[in-house]
Structure 1
Amino acid sequence: MAAAEEGQWVLMATGRSPTNIAVIKYWGKRDEALILPVNDSISVTLDPDHLSATTTVAVSPSFPSDRMWLNGKEISLSGGRFQSCLREIRKRAQDVEDEKKGIRIKKEDWGKLHVHIASYNNFPTAAGLASSAAGLVCFVFTLGNLMNVKEDYGELSSIARQGSGSACRSIYGGFVKWCMGKNNDGSDSIAVQLADEAHWNDLVIIIAVVSSKQKETSSTSGMRDSVETSPLLQYRAQRK
């Protein structure tokens, strides 16, 4: 790792990702830690101009720790979903060089550097509009750009899935299938694009936001309760 003046530089990347709405929903996990679903799901990705997350990631040797802000308010990065994504992206990081700034970062140095992350949703957060889907895929995609990660969209969707299940579907536009997969490690639980955003040019989706209040029951809690108590969910999963 080198720069004209060690510790004085900052390298940044910005990305924007849309949310998605499921038309065949996943509702329940067979593995809570890896976020592996009990069934395949299909969604339509919405217009990023209307419902999206914008994330800026900065890295500098002067940062003493990883920090994150959501809509201007600092939030904890200690949660498992953020740490899983950070860990997986750092494992895949490559050499980065910015000749104008005189910055060279070797792939083995990424584990020693800390990042600052600022994310903003242009729609209500945790109100039932899949803000975590947009936020987590943007988190992964922008970190990947900053750290010169070379993985394809399928692999990136698998990483985003570990932060928020439905996030994996927002890696693509149009209609997207999240394959539940069969492998215990989740390596085949990825998103694939079924049709791009130009497939139905006359399709219009209208979202009416009647309240920005956070929902009382989180999706994670609701899914867990359903898996534990609903015989109908088990029937659906077994006969998908």
Structure 2
Amino acid sequence: MYECKKSEQYDMADVPTYEEVTPHHRQSGAKHRLVVLVGPTGVGLNELKRKLLVSDPQHFSVTVPHTSRPKRNQENEGVEYHFISKNIFETDIHNNKFIEHGEYKGNYYGTSLDSVRSVLSKNKVCLLDVQPHTIKHLRTAEFKPYVVFVKPPPVERLRESRRNAKVISGKDDKGSAKPFSEEDFLEMVSTAQQMESQHGHLFEKIIVNDDLTAAFSELKVALKKVETDTHWVPISWTHS
């Protein structure tokens, strides 16, 4: 929908090559870890997220984005978007309140840190899909992100499995769909390889979305383990 901008403050806070880690087990009643889904356009992040929401809407939830565009008649504040003025949006950008933000047709769109906090405060698992470069902004004791990388199968398999599927266009906020092209397949695989090469050290789980049902089952099992099992996390995350 828009090109995401990076926060200059966070760009200097790159993840160190080596981090001291410690075992972490979520205590009963503690806030859930933020679940971050990463993957190239068309790989199926929205479908996986939607299936999780449908499977247990009392347990999983998503953030409500912010925008500076005017509210349409059929829209409700806090449902489709949080509607704020352009001046307030720009102030919030300056104060690093957004995880991601961008501009489309003169209006701002973005995902705020407070929108994530709002979901977590309701004792729900927050599902967030972001560009890989934003992961480091979220690597804090507050969010303790569990990062899942969803990658496509080889191009040959994509041609078979996605032949009759459609990809959502990123050109507008209405999300118009079009059939996958050969270029889409090649770009999806290439982008996934680049993401894994540059950010793979931040991924705790990698799922190949060859079959949506199988990928969803694998994701559901992994997220259950996040809540019940002990995981290694940076030692800094245990000191809030």
Same fold (TM over 0.5): no
Normalising by the residue count of structure 1, what TM-score does the alignment of the two structures yield? 0.34
Q: TM-score, normalised by structure 2?
A: 0.34
Q: Which has the higher contact order (CA 8 A, sep 6+)?
A: 2
